[in-house]
Structure 1
Amino acid sequence: MTSSVTSDSSPHPDSGEPEATADHGPGQPLPPADADPAFDPGARFRRFFNDPRWALAMIRATVLEAAHPQIGAALIDSSTFVAHPWRRLQNTLLSMQRMFGADDQVRQREAARLNRMHARLSGTDARDQPYDAMDPEVRAWVVATMYESAVTMYRLSGQPLDQSTMEGLYAEFQAFLAVLGDQAGHLPPTLQEFWPYYDRVVEEELENTEALRIILYKLFDHLPAPAVLEGLPTVWAAGRALAGPVVGAVTVASLPESFRRRAGLPELPGARTLTQSAYLAIGLTRFLPDDWIQAEAVAGLLTLSPDSDDPRARTITAVRDGIKRAGALIRLITPLPAEPAPADTAGSRRGAEEFFHTVLDQTGDGYLDWPDLAAMARELSGRLDLDEPEETRLYNAFADWWKELQTALDSDGDGRVSAEEYAAAVPTLAGPALIRVADVLFDATDTDGNQSIDADEYRALFRTGFRRDLADTGDTYSRSAFVKDFLTFMSGRRRSTIYDPLLAQA
């Protein structure tokens, strides 16, 4: 059987060729294939989290997902992956850790949350074709891309998995899908049947979708700086200019050859060699100390706000200051263009256009509509780990706010609000529906119901220590103070050291 999973048209991993069992870390071989695949501590999938190669594999899997018409349409309509990619990365890692952790109660709770979230993602695309994130076949394809990309990750790294290891890994992905409620599977029951299924979807269903093109040709070129580098635009732009094209080329070269031809994706000279070299080079980093490559720690560092009370923030701030001083010295010696002026400090006024694009337009499509406010509700619900019915109350409050905004701001009646329409009617934002959003959010944060937010409740929402300058005296945050601060921020009047990391940072 000829494979369509790699650029070199090598045989499928189940073709019977002898293959080695890959080590997944220094002195840590994968567990035997007859181990319990249902989320035990030695599960193969759990080890992927801290393998640096998994980052390339997940980008590849995301591209294959985006090429599916239904998934691509959902990404375009509702996802924040363009405007807030780092936040989405952190949330995805957190969700996967919950799903593959040892606590079954946490796993079931997360599965229920994912199902509620996906149930809200449905509609029609630009061609009036329906999409539904709860479609079992669509959900199966998402899991299939993750599994196949994991297998490809090892092979491109020169460590192809043996048959028994692949079968055990496949059982774990099937178990993951079953936890979501898709017991019937919609994935083939055996690995031997999986490869024909995978080839058929690639050949017959995948398309060169808008979401795929954005990921390959826009996201890497215009990737916003993570929070930790927001004050260093020149440093970030230089690094992105070097790394972005390489990541894009590596991703394209690793896609199924038949799909690349059909979608008209470019094949750069030497891309196959570059791809294998990238996987090999990144794979070497797995021999670094474990605490250097922990996925959760790396993601947390990238999304770390300079204003955070995390001890690492002080170190990062010191490094940033040193880089800025070095940059200033270089500009004195060489006639380089000046860096853009830094953003206004917290508490200063924010322009209407800036607020529209950094806070309101969560999906990054240039307009404000319901998916943007739904993304806010989704982020807040995830931060607070809300269950029913609190999650639904928050979504409904945001839905009512959207109706109020649409009535007040949508002057041309196209069902969405442009930046120009917003700027012309800024004072109307803080209406009764937005006040209701603030009240519902306060109730969700105030878990003990004592009508004040304490330090622990504060950290659950803002992921930072208690801000005495914004809160009431006595280490509490009253409803009135909370609602006032929320309205001030959400009406675009002023910046906020606590709400900017929550809804504005990438």
Structure 2
Amino acid sequence: MSIEQIIETDVDVAIAKPSPDTEYLPPAARMTRGELDALPARQNEMKGISVLAGPANVIMQLALPAVGYGVKESRVESGSLFHHPIKRTRTTLSYLAVASMGTPKDRKAYRKAIGRAHAQVRSTPESPVAYNAFDPKLQLWVAACLYKGWEDMQRIYGDPADITEETYQSGAVLGTTLQVPREMWPATRADFETYWDETVESLEIDPTIRDMLLSIVRVQFMPRWFSIIFGWWFELLTIGFLPENFRKKMGLRFRPWQRAVFDTHNKIARAIISRMPKPLREFPFNILLWDVRWRMRTNRPLV
């Protein structure tokens, strides 16, 4: 059976069946992929202001060499941040909306759409590192970065008390809405912390990937006029949202004046967000989820 045929089937576990030598993380407990898919919508609220941390989260994802080179060498131009920044941003944010707020039908449709795109992303003999976008280990790292980003945004703009074992378990949909088998998601939040710390400690960012990531810090993927006018602000926010260990690996300094501006911005934003009605807090994720469902009804591409 070809990859394309597998993607079209309803047997989603088959999509991500790992090779026999895959090293599994500690077995996850309680919920299978099917049970996760059946979770009600809005399990974890997505705050719209978290889009400001998007570049920092992308940098964390691409810091893993196989993910970074997979993006840099990808032949799927339509999904390239550097060629189509608006489209790429829309599809990434739509994925978060679907995984966190969508129905089982939404998640299944988006998983298949992502699978079609990922089927084209593979390393060549000339690639510095081997990669395959269907590798569940790489997808697990991407999902882990997204979940870590949700926790960080909750600490800054929400209620840290909402970071519980239950919300962690429901966060597994960030992986299973890709092609990560449920048993690869670390069994408990403590296991997740161990996985995260060990992976970050092992990361080495080579000059090629670092240059690409710095262009993201400076929003050079946007039109030149945009990066000239707003680049300094997005650079300040991106450095601020990056964990300290990633700043060190990138060789970035968070200057005192930048930290002061960043902290003041967050205090003001938090005060405003806490007074907003839920639909406004969730914008643009709620609109993007509506867009995904409209695309499904009208048979338009999801990614």
TM-score (norm: length of structure 1): 0.45
Letter in 2 for 1:161: P
Aligned mate of 2:49, from 36, 48, 53: 53
Deviation digits for residues 248-271 of structure 1, max 9, x if unmatched?
122223323233223322332333
Instruction: Give the structure with higher Rg (CA).
Output: 1
Which position in structure 2 is the counterpart of 1:241? 228
Q: Is the 8 A contact 2:136 2:181 kept in 1?
A: no
The answer to which structure has the higher helix fraction is: 2
The 1-side partners of 2:136 and 2:164 are apart by 23
Partner SS, residue 97 of structure 2: helix
The 2-side partners of 1:53 and 1:277 are apart by 15
Which position in structure 1 is the counterpart of 2:152? 152
Deviation digits for residues 199-241 of structure 1, max 9, x if unmatched?
111110242564553343357453435xxxxxxxxxx93x643
Unpaired stretches in structure 1, ≥5 consecutive residues: 1-35, 226-235, 301-382, 386-455, 463-506
The 1-side partners of 2:263 and 2:206 are apart by 24
Which position in structure 2 is the counterpart of 1:70? 66
The 2-side partners of 1:125 and 1:264 are apart by 30
Give me the CA root mean square deviation. 3.7
Letter in 2 for 1:135: D
Distance 1:195 1:251, change over 3 A: same
Which position in structure 1 is the counterpart of 2:220? 222
Partner SS, residue 131 of structure 2: strand
The 2-side partners of 1:218 and 1:42 are apart by 30
Partner SS, residue 112 of structure 2: helix
Which position in structure 2 is the counterpart of 1:14? none
Q: CA deviation at 1:145?
A: 0.7
1:116 and 2:116 matched: yes
Q: CA deviation at 1:65?
A: 0.4
Q: CA deviation at 1:384?
A: 7.0
Distance 1:168 1:80, change over 3 A: same
Q: CA deviation at 1:273?
A: 2.8
The 1-side partners of 2:186 and 2:120 are apart by 27
Q: CA deviation at 1:94?
A: 3.0
Which position in structure 1 is the counterpart of 2:142? 142
Aligned mate of 1:263, from 242, 245, 250: 250
Q: How many residues align?
A: 260
Aligned mate of 2:261, from 255, 269, 274: 274
Residue identity over aligned pairs, in percent, reads 20
Which position in structure 1 is the counterpart of 2:20? none
Greater RCO (CA < 8 Å, at least 6 residues apart): 2
Q: CA deviation at 1:297?
A: 7.6
Q: CA deviation at 1:136?
A: 1.4
Which position in structure 2 is the counterpart of 1:410? none
The 1-side partners of 2:182 and 2:216 are apart by 37
Partner SS, residue 182 of structure 1: coil
TM-score (norm: length of structure 2): 0.70
Deviation digits for residues 267-308 of structure 1, max 9, x if unmatched?
3233333333333333344344666562058779xxxxxxxx
Q: How does 1:173-192 map to 2 (within 5 A)?
A: 173-192=171-190
Q: Is the 8 A contact 1:69 1:206 kept in 2?
A: yes
Distance 1:245 1:214, change over 3 A: farther
1:203 and 2:201 matched: yes
Which position in structure 1 is the counterpart of 2:6? none
Q: How does 1:319-468 map to 2 (within 5 A)?
A: none
Distance 1:154 1:103, change over 3 A: closer
